[in-house]
Structure 1
């Protein structure tokens, strides 16, 4: 079969796409039903690919870079009955990417920026336990214990972040509700659903013992601008010991308060 001048051989496709794509990867896409060559020589077995094929390979690689498995990529293209599920999956990945970009921007700053932001806190289901902690160290232990308890009961959410809700009236209050994000299917006694809500927040970079600085700044902003708080202060843990170890100066916490 004479090659159509508008088609590409597999080696040409590899050169165009780049980014680590190999012959084996392309053939694997075909085996999984993700890709169908424009033409295939029945005698030699040579494959010929169209420009659309090349664009599709690039698209598959992009979806993989977002964290989708090849099975999920196939569902994304060909499963028309579960569009909402695939849309939710991609939106979750987008939100995770946005948070990672935000964390990098905060880490790039030399000092904590106590600027106040208006945000939308996402809806989520959480495994929650309330403790009166002796101090910040004890609170960290209780949060870890709550995480372990939640992981033994159900699946931890890959989208939302764990947080604590500060009860009491003092800035130093260690009366805390520990909230571990879990999947919606969890219905144990510790289940608490938090609705999506508008909030004010400060992204604080530094040790947990100094979170009172951000809380005081938020309180002052609310009072100065005559804003009505809808709920208690939350400390949402974006990056802490799992990512930064004992380098507490690089911990990133979103201190937020829902507002009306």
Structure 2
């Protein structure tokens, strides 16, 4: 038997942590002296503690680890599925860190050259275009920001199915229109749409008219910079918003291997401000 101190030293886990693990039922002492309350662990428990430490190193929560340990399924099968899921999570985090590191290096490089770290805004191109009327087959609903990616997939699957059933003709890539003027705790008033040739039951007219257009190559995380640049351009030139701003997804996010392959068109419908003079 090992005292809690010896067990703590071998596994590199504090005695305070071991007591907490016992409280939540993660790993219990093999024996507790009823006279003095001293806790003892068996040699066999060393492997279990090392297993817990290993899963913690993969960023599993204590709750997730306990679920794996308590699983009534074959533990190896359960563990394989959980490790595979965690691997995907970590790979995504690594991609995010790599992207952040690239951006950080660019900012450092710009500062060395005497440029502002916000100088990237100068490379965002804003065009003034006239967009003709189109017919949209769409689904409009309140959606929270964290739900948009999931709803994107769900809604466009439904729309494609409807198009196939009604034998409609797709004229342009999928788009999402944002009707909310401001943030709401109930979500954003969002419309998932596909332009079609035919005007039938379930479709609607949409005439964007005069718009600011920007083509974004790469991550959706840069969308806010595009919005800021377009709004700045509109304010400077004396324009204001005239309709729902919308994004056209030229490339399907589910079909690209890298974010750098994404192509998105951002449209900001505008009209000239009326002078109060």
Q: TM-score, normalised by structure 1?
A: 0.49
Q: Greater RCO between the two (CA within 8 Å, min separation 6)?
A: 1
Say which one has the larger Rg. Answer: 2
Q: TM-score, normalised by structure 2?
A: 0.47
